A and B are shown apart, each in its own frame.
Chain A
Amino acid sequence: MTLATTYMGLPLRNPLIVGAGPLTGDFDNVRQLEDDGAAALVLPSLFEEDITTEQLTDFFSYDTYGDSFPEASSYAPDPESAPGPDAYLEHLRRVKAAVDIPVIGSLNGSTPGGWLSYAKLMEQAGADALELHLFHSASDPALSSAEVERQMLQILTAVKGELRIPVAVKLAPLFTAFANFALQLDAAGANALVLFTRFHRIDFDVIELEVLRRVEYSTSAELDLRLRGVAALAGRVRASLAITGGVHTALDVIKGTMAGAHAMQTVSAVMRYGSAHLRKVLTEVEAWMIANEWNSLAEMRGNMSYQRVPNPAAYERESFRRMFSVDVARG
């Protein structure tokens, strides 16, 4: 019996990857994550707008006041490094040197631009793969879905053209024709598709009339959307598939694999229960597989996908209506 898997060409000892987030951003954690069974690490995302904003903030906040008053030509020491990827790359190098499992860099952006050069720098710093987080808020009425998709494909093509390491694309679920776009990404050379980005939660302060933002841990309930996505693509794309969001238990891993995932990314569960939770999940997956007489994940991968499930209609709207009717009848 084996848990081994291959994810975008990277052989992994098991499918459990610690996803992009604070856990992998802290160097002090990474060895423990490896020891507890993490098959790979995705480093936190380097955000395009963060870098640009910080550069401009420093420029406008410091340089506006420099050389304008006789007693001070500046108001802060010159920084040792510009806002940019240096610290990130250094972290990547240190993590890479500290662990034996694959280390995946992550880049978050929405427009083609100079920041793509950071992808190359991540490769040079030793990243085994890159996770490209393509995010679009879908709130700009002037931007058509076709244009959004065109830009994303352009980014992927640009990055693929520069890099030799595999490139995964992490997507939000907000696409009109998700499966079609996923196939286009596949055709453009994506080595993996990671489903799906979790959004910050927003809320309203109805007295102060402000939008509140917060980050919450995911729950297994969020797995549902990912299972649908992966099940729709399994067997239809060359790219590996990964699930991120809602992976908490051994059963979540089993389900994800059955939907067709090659890897499962987890963050919230490890943040909540600690690194040892990885070991627990993996032990339970093994026990479940033995109990249910599965020899490998490959055997079960995709058996519940659209292509192979006996009743694909169960994924569709029709089944929802019937289920709802039953519930009403029960009520």
Chain B
Amino acid sequence: MSKNLITVDGNEAAASVAFRVSEAIAIFPITPSSPMAELCDEWASRGKTNLWGVAPEIAEMQSEGGAAGALHGALQAGAQATTFTASQGLLLMIPNMYKIAGELSPFTMHVTARTLAVHALSIFGDHSDVMACRQTGFALLCSNSVQEAHDMAAIAHAATLESRVPFLHFFDGFRTSHEVSKIEALSDDDLRSLISEEAIFAHRERALTPDRPVLRGTAQNPDVFFQAREAANTYYDATPGIVESLMTKLAALTGRNYSLFEYAGDPDAERVIVIMGSGAETAHETVEHLVAKGEKVGIVKVRLYRPFLRQVFIKALPASTKSIAVLDRTKEPGAPGDPLYLDVVTALAEARAEKESSFSIEPNVIAGRYGLSSKEFTPAMVKAVFDELSKPDPRRHFTIGIIDDVTHTSLSWDPSFRTEADDVSTALFYGLGADGTVGANKNSIKIIGHETTQFAQGYFVYDSKKSGAITVSHLRTSPRPIRSAYLVERAGFVACHQFEFIDKIDMLEYAAPGAVFLLNASGDATAVWDRLPREMQQQMIEKRIRFFVIDAYALAKQAGMGGRINTIMQTCFFGISGVLPRDEAIAHIKKSIEKTYGKRGPEVVRRNCEVVDLALAHLNEVPVPQAVSATRSRPPLVSELAPDFVQKVSAVMMAGKGDLLPVSAFPVDGTWPVGTAKWEKRNLALEIPVWDAKICIQCNQCALVCPHAAIRAKVYEEPALAGAPETFKSTAYKAAEYKGKMFTIQVAPEDCTGCNLCVNVCPAKDRTNPKHKAINMEPQAPLRDAERSNYDFFLNLPELDRAEVVRLDHKGSQFLEPLFEYSGACAGCGETPYLKLLTQLFGDRLLIANATGCSSIYGGNLPTTPYTTNRDGRGPAWSNSLFEDNAEFGFGFRLALDAHLAAVRTLVQHLAPSIGETLATELIEANQDNEAEITAQRERVLVLRSKLAGIQSAEARHLESLADYLVRKSVWLVGGDGWAYDIGYGGLDHVIANRRDVNILVLDTEVYSNTGGQQSKATPLGAAAKFAASGKSVGKKDLGLLANMYGHVYVARVAFGAKMLQTVQAFREAEAYRGPSLIIAYSHCIAHGYDMAQGAAQQKLAVDSGVWPLYRFDPNRIPKGEPPLNLDYGPPKAKVADYMRNESRFRVIERADPARFKHFLEEAQSAAERRYAVYEQLAGISVPAFEKKDENGGNPEDGK
């Protein structure tokens, strides 16, 4: 039997089967399952077919709930259907899962098991989502590895057809879904052998068709429902047998043996672990190691978890078993135990009752919880569990993998315990996302997988930053299949692709004695040793490290590769490691470059190949001296001025050692302090903006567009300059409103990402040398120290009194302190300038409900978060609920605020005699329409508090606790287009259909940016996006126009790059409007495929061409007899083609299908013109004001 070996990740392994055996696929992107849907869509669009010679019909729906509904329908109509999902997405499918199971519809879904959001969201892996589906009636089949994800996918699809019980096939999110591994592929013939054609025919026979009409979905009453529910029992009874026989068939085809419950270990084991998922592989590896040392241990891997066949489970356990530890990768607070444990206890009890047990003594069962949110689960932890089982009185319930110093559930483990064999090679690569390290390592794994007899494994760890993300690649090669589902703990090869990391990360902690350390460092290789910190030198000497240095950036620059050093470092890895002969390795690297970058074009391939040729010639081995010579130590990660929590918790997380933090370090409910991003000085920018005060026209545009609040403007009195650093720049303020004050534009040198947006929008040029602007980029390193001091001084300059800001426009707004700063958003992000502006305008009284997506990740992903406070301690209060419910979630804020306000007003009225009638009246009736009025109200509340202090009553105490609600709060519902146009549209529509005072900010990137650029209903006509690879054939949904139709909703479309003033006006009007407001904000995005430095210019072109209208629909204008719609843009004066040709998302269509592109161009041009015509007419319409009459025919407002 010839084996077809492929090197793929778990997602591809599962999807390759699902695609081939499906006719209809309904999808919605969710991490970590999205790649399966993307692959299927890509395969279908490339003409790949299923087993029956046609490409499956694939449809992206508006949510997982929508996908489940579509699937239910497809199944009813007789198709073989599938989907891919995880976590919250799986929860949204549950209602339909009950229906699908209740109707015995053959169906398989593939789930990358992921943590459910509780006190926090986590994209990583555990079984909490799958466990929430136990009750649906789906069979639950678990894969433990990439190979199994492939094989069990086939078993699931085959078994569901035969059994009619729908299958949820799952494997661990990230650990399996994203692990790249060498596996044996199932051929089409293998799949045909497994899939029963008779079962397919039977499924089709049951399809709803008018040719054989039947009825499903009846409503049943107490007389029959119960019996009917029991009628399906036999199908569940038969399912395990069907799965088992298919596993037998698969074994005959492939030689790979699986069983429902699979035992591994000593046949006479006394201590047994029961486990499912990737942890089972680690446990298996550990068991083999311990058995070889004579220990009587074993594991039972649970594959078919539902239906749970007790008899087979009991038989899987050796009769010698004395104690069992059941490990659950989920947590059910308040339950007598986590689910797998309860199942095992029940099975043993029933077996005992049924006299099926053959144990010499009844095993003692204990329960452990491990691996939540992809927490590491290592052989040392497995060993600790076995050790616990050895104890005469083991803990009944425990955790493993954390330090629980609060409820003391955790077992301790010996981190030095290892099971890896000596012939397993391990490597660690530390890189930046942008330098391509992960991509190159994926290719390296594939090269090793294809070109050697070795088995290879790659796993990749990322931080959660979208700019300057650090990646760690974990590679293993072995002569045997690799079961190690945990990170590399001792590496024979450590590569550091970024020199700055030597001061941030203790990389050599994981280096094995005698390991190779490859460092990318600029300049003379022989001088690099002296630049290393003491700690690193010490480790290198102690571990006898072989030290290699290459100046990869110099080579990349020479070849015109920018910061892409991945193929250089990859070549060095092969050159040093000797996995393959050098020449052979280089040939394979070039082949993989051709494969990877061929899609970008021959010039890109040529440049990559050029650096490969250069790499080895410039690689230097540097002798490691006998003694430490460095005088400097690794600097602390955060300033000593940082708060205690940041020092003790955030800094540990920043150092990549968050695993070491004990339970007591954490808040109990997910509450987290704000203002922590400021302590994480990431120093990402190679160049930073430098201000030339002489040229500057003091327009503040640079500050407004900065996505990271890293360039700021201030006006202040001249005496405040006392003690300014020598290089601090200042000039007289030019305009009348602050005449006599001084003005400074200051960059935050260590927080700037170097995106260039500020430079590109700067309108001020040196007339004698227009190339020189008021803002110019210069190398950061030589400026860093001086600018750091300047920035500190700048921050300590007094803020302008908010009430003093005369013109609250795009210029004046920038004198307000931003309370959103230094986020991890992409360099040049088009969303964050809006959020920063929002916090400047209303930050000290702002509540934000944030839909899941980019803005919730850069807004709330640990270790540090960007929302912060002003000097009074006030600032945005922020929370993320879900993706789908954000409008409702934020609406709930308003309900609560309105309730608080009603209560507080009542209390003020009740206590008016005590606090003073005048104060009471003012507190209730004072206007709060501008900063001065809000300041006045804050002062009234202070007076109120002082008066309440002297009043002894329950009402006074209640009023004290609610008094701050007398100051107007601003509620903003923030999210992307995926939320607003698609998954959350129903909620958004409902919220604006009410009159409650909420403000909705849609950061419209026109794709699901966070999950990788899948199309949404905001995606414009002709744009290529994932799930619309050939260009979206339907135009963008006009969300604003839909909202306009209500008449009572304030609606604006804005684009800061086109008209900053209009953006600020819209934000202010929306907030001022005492009803629902909707702002749709054009947000350029990396998914659009151009240099983000040009983002503002492209926004302008979008508006000038009529692609993106600017308008404000303000219901407040109606009573004045004015048309509510105010157009803020003119007739299209630029060509839509010029706009579209600037972005790769459109140009790829021109390349692939010029005729289709031409059609898109013409239609888009026409749409832009029609849109303007429609808006222009609407802008001319005045409508009669509606005068509300009371019962007596009078205006109810008159009495006030």
Query: What is the interface of chain A, defined by CB distance below 8 A to chain B?
Result: 26-27, 51-52, 54-84, 86-87, 90-91, 114, 209-210
Bound CA span A81–B563, Å: 24
| 1/0 contact string of B1174-1188 vs chain A (CB within 8 Å) | 000000000000000
Chain B residues within an 8 Å CB radius of A70: 31-32, 123, 174, 178, 462, 464
Q: Are A79 and B1152 neighbours in the complex by a CB distance under 8 Å?
A: yes
| 1/0 contact string of B435-466 vs chain A (CB within 8 Å) | 01111001000000000000000001010111
Bound CA span A74–B606, Å: 22
Contacting residue for B1087 out of A60, A76, A86, A210, CB 8 A: A76
Bound CA span A71–B824, Å: 14
Q: Are A63 and B439 neighbours in the complex by a CB distance under 8 Å?
A: yes
Bound CA span A51–B606, Å: 14
Contacting residue for B599 out of A27, A57, A75, A79, CB 8 A: A79
* Total chain B interface residues with beta-carbon distance under 8 A: 73
Contacting residue for A76 out of B602, B604, B1013, CB 8 A: B1013
Q: Are A209 and B767 neighbours in the complex by a CB distance under 8 Å?
A: yes
Q: Are B601 and A62 neighbours in the complex by a CB distance under 8 Å?
A: no
Contact A68:B433 (CB < 8 A) given known A63-B439, A82-B602: yes
Contact A27:B1013 (CB < 8 A) given known A59-B600, A59-B604: no
| B469 at the binding interface (Cβ < 8 Å) | yes
Bound CA span A70–B606, Å: 29
Q: How far is the CB of B156 from chain A (nearest CB, A)?
A: 25
Contacting residue for B1029 out of A27, A57, A77, A83, CB 8 A: A77
Q: How far is the CB of B1096 from chain A (nearest CB, A)?
A: 15
Q: Are B1152 and A71 neighbours in the complex by a CB distance under 8 Å?
A: no
Bound CA span A83–B460, Å: 30
Q: Are A57 and B1144 neighbours in the complex by a CB distance under 8 Å?
A: yes
Query: What is the interface of chain B, defined by CB distance below 8 A to chain A?
Result: 31-32, 34-35, 38, 41-42, 45-46, 123, 174, 178, 432-434, 436-439, 442, 460, 462, 464-466, 469, 471, 560, 562-564, 597-604, 606, 765, 767, 770, 826, 857, 1007, 1009-1013, 1024-1026, 1028-1030, 1086-1087, 1089-1091, 1144-1145, 1147-1148, 1150-1155, 1158
A-B contacts besides A68-B434, A91-B1154, 10 pairs, CB < 8 Å: A55-B602, A62-B1144, A67-B442, A68-B471, A70-B31, A71-B34, A71-B1012, A73-B35, A84-B602, A209-B765
Q: Are B1150 and A87 neighbours in the complex by a CB distance under 8 Å?
A: yes
Bound CA span A74–B1025, Å: 11
Bound CA span A219–B598, Å: 44
Chain A residues within an 8 Å CB radius of B464: 69-70
Q: Are B1151 and A83 neighbours in the complex by a CB distance under 8 Å?
A: yes
Q: Are B601 and A69 neighbours in the complex by a CB distance under 8 Å?
A: no
Bound CA span A54–B1141, Å: 11
Chain B residues within an 8 Å CB radius of A87: 1150-1154
Contacting residue for A55 out of B41, B460, B603, CB 8 A: B603
Q: Are B1155 and A27 neighbours in the complex by a CB distance under 8 Å?
A: yes
Chain B residues within an 8 Å CB radius of A54: 601, 1144, 1147
Q: Are A69 and B469 neighbours in the complex by a CB distance under 8 Å?
A: yes
What are 6 A-B pairs with beta-carbon distances under 8 A?
Answer: A26-B1158, A55-B603, A70-B464, A71-B123, A77-B38, A209-B770
Chain A residues within an 8 Å CB radius of B35: 73
Bound CA span A63–B826, Å: 14
The 7 closest A-B pairs by CB, nearest first: A68-B433, A72-B1012, A55-B601, A67-B438, A82-B601, A209-B770, A77-B1029
Closest to A55 in B: B601
Chain A residues within an 8 Å CB radius of B462: 68-70
Chain A residues within an 8 Å CB radius of B857: 71
Chain A residues within an 8 Å CB radius of B604: 55-56, 58-59, 82
Q: How far is the CB of B944 from chain A (nearest CB, A)?
A: 47
Q: Are A76 and B1090 neighbours in the complex by a CB distance under 8 Å?
A: no
Chain B residues within an 8 Å CB radius of A60: 562, 564, 1091
Contacting residue for B1010 out of A56, A71, A79, A83, CB 8 A: A71
Chain B residues within an 8 Å CB radius of A210: 770
Q: Are A63 and B436 neighbours in the complex by a CB distance under 8 Å?
A: yes
Contact A83:B31 (CB < 8 A) given known A74-B1013, A77-B1024: no
Chain A residues within an 8 Å CB radius of B1025: 76-77
Does more than half of chain B's interface fall in helix, strand or loop, or is it mixed? mixed
Contact A61:B600 (CB < 8 A) given known A68-B462, A86-B1151: no
Q: Are B600 and A55 neighbours in the complex by a CB distance under 8 Å?
A: yes
Contacting residue for B1013 out of A63, A68, A72, A114, CB 8 A: A72
Bound CA span A91–B1155, Å: 9
Q: Are A71 and B460 neighbours in the complex by a CB distance under 8 Å?
A: no
Closest to B31 in A: A71
Bound CA span A158–B198, Å: 64
Closest to A78 in B: B599
Chain B residues within an 8 Å CB radius of A90: 1154
Bound CA span A212–B606, Å: 34
Bound CA span A62–B1158, Å: 24
Bound CA span A61–B1091, Å: 6
Q: Are A76 and B1024 neighbours in the complex by a CB distance under 8 Å?
A: yes
Chain A residues within an 8 Å CB radius of B437: 67
Contact A65:B1086 (CB < 8 A) given known A26-B1158, A87-B1154: yes
Contact A114:B1151 (CB < 8 A) given known A59-B597, A75-B1009: no
Chain A residues within an 8 Å CB radius of B564: 59-60, 63-64
Chain A residues within an 8 Å CB radius of B433: 65, 67-69
Closest to B1147 in A: A54
Q: Are B1012 and A61 neighbours in the complex by a CB distance under 8 Å?
A: no
Chain B residues within an 8 Å CB radius of A26: 1158
Contact A82:B767 (CB < 8 A) given known A70-B464, A76-B1025: no
Chain A residues within an 8 Å CB radius of B178: 70
Contacting residue for A83 out of B436, B560, B601, B1154, CB 8 A: B601
Bound CA span A54–B600, Å: 9
Chain A residues within an 8 Å CB radius of B606: 114
Q: Are A81 and B434 neighbours in the complex by a CB distance under 8 Å?
A: no
Q: Are B434 and A56 neighbours in the complex by a CB distance under 8 Å?
A: no
Chain B residues within an 8 Å CB radius of A75: 1007, 1009, 1012-1013, 1086-1087
Closest to B41 in A: A77
Interface centre among B35, B601, B1030 (most CB of A within 10 A): B601
Q: How far is the CB of B365 from chain A (nearest CB, A)?
A: 36
Q: How far is the CB of A120 from chain B (nearest CB, A)?
A: 13
Bound CA span A79–B1154, Å: 14
Contacting residue for B471 out of A57, A67, A81, CB 8 A: A67
Contacting residue for A82 out of B31, B600, B1030, B1090, CB 8 A: B600
Bound CA span A78–B1013, Å: 12
Closest to A211 in B: B770
Chain A residues within an 8 Å CB radius of B1148: 76, 79-80
Q: Are B1026 and A77 neighbours in the complex by a CB distance under 8 Å?
A: yes
Contacting residue for A114 out of B602, B1009, B1010, CB 8 A: B602
Contacting residue for B1151 out of A65, A77, A79, CB 8 A: A79
Bound CA span A83–B597, Å: 11
Q: Are A64 and B434 neighbours in the complex by a CB distance under 8 Å?
A: yes
Q: How far is the CB of B198 from chain A (nearest CB, A)?
A: 38
Bound CA span A66–B46, Å: 21
Contact A67:B599 (CB < 8 A) given known A55-B604, A79-B1148, A87-B1152: no
Interface centre among B178, B438, B1009, B1151 (most CB of A within 10 A): B1151
Q: How far is the CB of B777 from chain A (nearest CB, A)?
A: 17
Q: Are B767 and A73 neighbours in the complex by a CB distance under 8 Å?
A: no
Q: Are A57 and B1091 neighbours in the complex by a CB distance under 8 Å?
A: yes
Bound CA span A71–B858, Å: 13
Bound CA span A27–B857, Å: 47
Contact A78:B1012 (CB < 8 A) given known A61-B1089, A70-B174, A87-B1151: no
Bound CA span A90–B1156, Å: 13
Bound CA span A114–B606, Å: 9
Q: How far is the CB of A266 from chain B (nearest CB, A)?
A: 23
Bound CA span A84–B32, Å: 34
Bound CA span A51–B439, Å: 24
Chain A residues within an 8 Å CB radius of B442: 67
Bound CA span A271–B42, Å: 40
